[in-house]
C-alpha cells in the first residue's frame, strides 16, 4: 500500500489547532442513517487538501483530494471517494484513538 509521506506535519493528525488549517463544511451524509459530517480541510503549512468523513460514533476517515475535485464533492459521494483512494488515514475511538492507514471499504457499521 502506498502511504502518505510523513512530513511531520500537523495535518497528519486528527487534533489540529484551528490556526493550522482552513476548513469548509461540505455537508452531512444521511445515507443509511450514517449522519456523517463531510468537510474539506487544507493545511496552512504544507497546503495538502483533505476530504474528511466524520461519523457520530467518533470515528473519522480522511484522504487527499485533488483541488479540482473539491468543488464537485457532495456529502453522499464522500465515502465512495475515500474507498477508491489508494490509501486514507482513519482514527477515533474505534481505532484506539490512533491514526492508522487504511484502504478499500470503510468500516461504517
The residue ranges of every structural domain in the chain are: 18-102
Residue pair 73/94 in contact (Cβ under 8 Å)? The answer is: no
The pTM score is: 0.85
Predicted local confidence at residue 97, as pLDDT: 82
Alpha carbon dihedral 25, 27, 31, 36, in 10-degree steps, equals 30
Count of residues for the chain?
109
Query: How confident is the model over 70-103, as pLDDT tens digits?
Result: 999 999 999 999 999 988 988 888 888 888 888 9
| pLDDT tens sequence across 3-35 | 545 556 777 765 666 677 888 999 999 988 889
Amino acid at each position: 500500500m502506498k502511504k502518505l509521506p510523513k512530513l511531520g506535519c500537523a495535518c497528519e493528525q486528527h487534533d489540529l489547532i484551528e490556526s493550522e488549517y482552513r476548513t469548509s463544511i461540505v455537508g452531512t451524509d444521511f445515507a443509511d442513517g450514517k449522519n456523517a459530517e463531510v468537510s474539506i480541510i487544507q493545511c496552512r503549512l504544507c497546503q495538502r487538501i483533505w476530504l474528511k468523513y466524520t461519523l457520530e460514533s467518533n470515528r473519522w476517515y480522511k484522504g487527499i483530494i485533488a483541488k479540482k475535485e473539491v468543488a464537485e464533492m457532495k456529502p453522499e459521494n464522500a465515502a465512495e471517494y475515500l474507498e477508491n483512494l489508494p490509501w486514507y488515514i482513519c482514527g477515533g475511538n474505534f481505532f484506539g484513538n490512533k491514526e492508522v492507514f487504511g484502504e478499500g471499504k470503510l468500516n461504517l457499521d
